């Protein structure tokens, strides 16, 4: 990409760091840099020309947040907290550069360093804004790569399992019941299913997602957590809860997990027994302040122990994904707690004084009204918003065929296309296959011209190539506004599934899926097979 001479002069005059990067495949170190202005080069200690061609990791100590924003593909400028080289905190702004048709050509990134926070006093509230610096830079980079790659790995793993499970199911059904080969294949099928559950756990651990949440009374939850964690322990505990404690829109299991972790940490800090106090009270944050808390109502949960306290030099590392002082610890507990609370729009603070004790304070956004609240609908991510450049064109078409719908499968995995072709044939459904988004769109266009559109399209959201699944969805809907499109993917969260449905997808098939689950989707769409 050639940067206009006058634009280059203008960008070199601004004080913010600016980069233009490629929009190609997102490797672990990020896409290559196409342009860097003088401010960015100075922050990196390099010449602007030397940065061209370097990966995104060359201009940030932690590329994971930016890679996540690029993967989501927000159509509008998106702020992202991150770092410059040397782990200098900054606020990145990531915006796509599009051509006249709306296709993304490149991304432009700007970075503004954040003001340094004053050094905390002993015993003061401590806030942890992102991962702290690691003494082992290489190891930290490896952790970042693993986390960034996990969703891709889970998706590919589930793709492979889908291509295994469907044919195995078909063969099992054709073999004599109780035969030796059928029994062996059933063992294979069960093993593949267990592998799918493992992939689900792996994906759940690493992904950022918003879990299903309901209006919850927190006092009973705290009581259950305390009774469970202190069972058979020589701990004297007290729970002090405000009489009119506000409710919160939370995933109760996630919050209980956080409380259990903090209570168990407190118990382990007092191996000879001791006192534990858990408080829950209402708090109104009048203005933006501690740790970036936004103004509004919060329920605060405090877990206080009278243990030896946390050494001052350990406090900056508490939420590091690998930091632990326990011989058998893995350093995962507190980082997961931190992520859960942040996913709920809250924050965690810690106070600790040696030989006096430690207190963790959890701030969770509260519901102050007395009327019952239904779970909030999932917002549609900006990346899923309809493209204004792809207007809907009404086209009166015949209704779906009853019983044996015509199905289009758009998936870049040959094994999945083969498996779904055989599955559809077994269900006596005519089927056509496409390995790319462009090929799928052309098949839709041809069927529309013939007057016999596909009744159902099975669309892989994570398509490789120049068009991703969301772009293919918008184009098919532009051609056929009433098209029935089912999304499928091996990487997903509850909030993403709801967002796809809000966008207009007719359903979601999580990979790997069985023949029976495939039939259930067809049945739900009122096209029995």
Residue where one domain finishes, among candidates 166, 184, 206: 206
Shared-domain flag, residues 361 and 339: yes
pLDDT band at residue 98 using 50, 70 and 90 as cut-offs: confident
Residues making up the chain, counted from first to last: 529
Shared-domain flag, residues 144 and 184: yes
128: in domain: no
Separation of alpha carbons 26 and 22, rounded Å: 9
Shared-domain flag, residues 11 and 108: yes
Q: Pseudo-torsion of CA 427, 428, 430, 436, nearest 10°?
A: 20
How far is residue 339 from each of residues 8, 62, 325, 474, 503, measured CA to CA in Å?
Answer: 39, 17, 20, 33, 27
Any idea what the CATH number is for the domain that residue 419 is in?
Answer: 3.40.50.2300
If phi over 0 gives left and psi between -120 and 50 gives alpha, with beta otherwise, what is residue 283? beta
440: in domain: yes
Separation of alpha carbons 94 and 106, rounded Å: 11
Specify the pLDDT at position 431: 93
376: in domain: no
Separation of alpha carbons 501 and 499, rounded Å: 5
**For the chain, how far is it from start to end, CA to CA, in angstroms?**
51
370: in domain: no
Query: Rg for the chain (alpha carbons), in Å?
Result: 27
Separation of alpha carbons 480 and 397, rounded Å: 9
Shared-domain flag, residues 332 and 258: yes
pLDDT band at residue 54 using 50, 70 and 90 as cut-offs: confident
Shared-domain flag, residues 269 and 289: yes
Residue 367 parent element (H or E): none
Residue where one domain finishes, among candidates 304, 330, 365: 365
Instruction: For tokens 């407190």, name the residue.
Output: 266
Shared-domain flag, residues 222 and 340: yes
Separation of alpha carbons 485 and 408, rounded Å: 9
Any idea what the CATH number is for the domain that residue 43 is in?
Answer: 3.30.450.20
Shared-domain flag, residues 349 and 411: no
Separation of alpha carbons 109 and 77, rounded Å: 9
Instruction: For tokens 């499970």, name the residue.
Output: 165
419: in domain: yes
Q: What is the DSSP letter of 32?
A: B
**What is the domain range of residue 46?**
5-116
Question: What's the total number of domains in the chain?
Answer: 4
132: in domain: no
Record the pTM.
0.43
Separation of alpha carbons 95 and 70, rounded Å: 9
Shared-domain flag, residues 307 and 353: yes
Shared-domain flag, residues 109 and 36: yes
Q: Which of 57-61, 137-141, 189-193, 290-294 has the lowest mean pLDDT?
A: 137-141
529: in domain: no
Separation of alpha carbons 302 and 504, rounded Å: 42
Separation of alpha carbons 58 and 245, rounded Å: 48
Shared-domain flag, residues 223 and 326: yes
Shared-domain flag, residues 82 and 171: no
Mean pLDDT of 399-403: 50
288: in domain: yes
pLDDT band at residue 472 using 50, 70 and 90 as cut-offs: very high
Axis crossing angle, helix 252-268 with helix 218-230, rounded to the nearest 10: 40
């Amino acid at each position: 990409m050639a940067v206009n001479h006058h634009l280059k002069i203008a960008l070199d005059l601004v004080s913010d760091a600016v980069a233009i990067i490629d929009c190609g495949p997102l490797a672990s170190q990020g896409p290559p840099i196409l342009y860097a202005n003088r401010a960015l080069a100075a922050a990196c200690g390099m010449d602007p020309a030397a940065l061209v061609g370097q990966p995104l990791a060359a201009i940030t100590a932690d590329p994971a947040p930016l890679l996540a924003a690029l993967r989501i593909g927000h159509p509008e400028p998106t702020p992202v907290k991150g770092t410059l080289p040397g782990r200098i905190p900054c606020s990145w702004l990531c915006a796509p550069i599009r051509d006249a048709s709306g296709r993304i050509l490149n991304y432009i990134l700007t970075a503004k360093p954040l003001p340094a926070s004053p050094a905390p006093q002993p015993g003061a509230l401590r806030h942890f804004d992102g991962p702290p610096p690691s003494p082992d830079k290489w190891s930290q980079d490896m952790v970042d790569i693993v986390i960034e790659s996990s969703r891709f790995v889970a998706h590919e793993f589930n793709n492979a399992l889908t291509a295994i499970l469907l044919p195995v199911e078909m063969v099992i059904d054709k073999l004599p019941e109780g035969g030796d080969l059928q029994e062996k294949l059933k063992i294979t099928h069960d093993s593949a299913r267990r592998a799918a559950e493992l992939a689900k756990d792996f994906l759940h651990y690493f992904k950022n997602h918003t879990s299903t949440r309901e209006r919850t009374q927190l006092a009973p939850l705290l009581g259950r957590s305390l009774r469970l964690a202190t069972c058979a322990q020589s701990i004297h505990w007290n729970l002090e809860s405000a009489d009119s404690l506000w409710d919160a829109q939370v995933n109760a299991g996630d919050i209980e997990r956080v409380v259990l972790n903090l209570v168990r940490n407190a118990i382990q800090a007092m191996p000879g027994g001791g006192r534990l106090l858990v408080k829950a009270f209402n708090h109104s944050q009048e203005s933006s302040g501690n740790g970036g808390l936004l103004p509004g109502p919060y329920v605060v949960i405090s877990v206080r122990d009278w243990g030896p306290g946390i050494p001052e030099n350990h406090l900056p590392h508490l939420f590091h994904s690998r930091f632990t002082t326990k011989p058998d610890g893995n350093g995962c507990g507190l980082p997961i707690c931190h992520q859960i609370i942040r996913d709920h729009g809250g924050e965690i603070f810690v106070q600790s004084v040696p030989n006096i004790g430690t207190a963790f304070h959890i701030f969770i956004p509260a519901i102050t009204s007395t009327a019952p609240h239904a779970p909030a609908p999932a917002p549609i991510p900006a990346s899923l918003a309809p493209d204004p450049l792809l207007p809907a064109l009404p086209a009166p078409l015949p209704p779906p065929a009853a019983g044996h719908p015509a199905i289009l499968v758009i998936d870049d995995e040959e094994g999945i296309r083969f498996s779904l072709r055989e599955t559809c044939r077994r269900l006596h459904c005519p089927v056509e296959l496409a390995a790319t988004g462009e090929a799928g769109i052309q098949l839709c266009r041809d069927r529309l011209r013939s007057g016999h559109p596909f009744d159902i399209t099975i669309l892989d959201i994570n398509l490789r190539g120049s068009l991703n699944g969301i772009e293919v969805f918008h184009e098919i809907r532009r051609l056929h506004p009433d098209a029935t499109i089912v999304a499928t993917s091996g990487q997903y969260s509850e909030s993403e599934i709801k967002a796809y449905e809000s966008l207009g997808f007719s359903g979601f098939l999580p990979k790997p899926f069985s023949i029976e689950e495939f039939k259930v989707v067809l049945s739900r769409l009122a096209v029995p097979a």
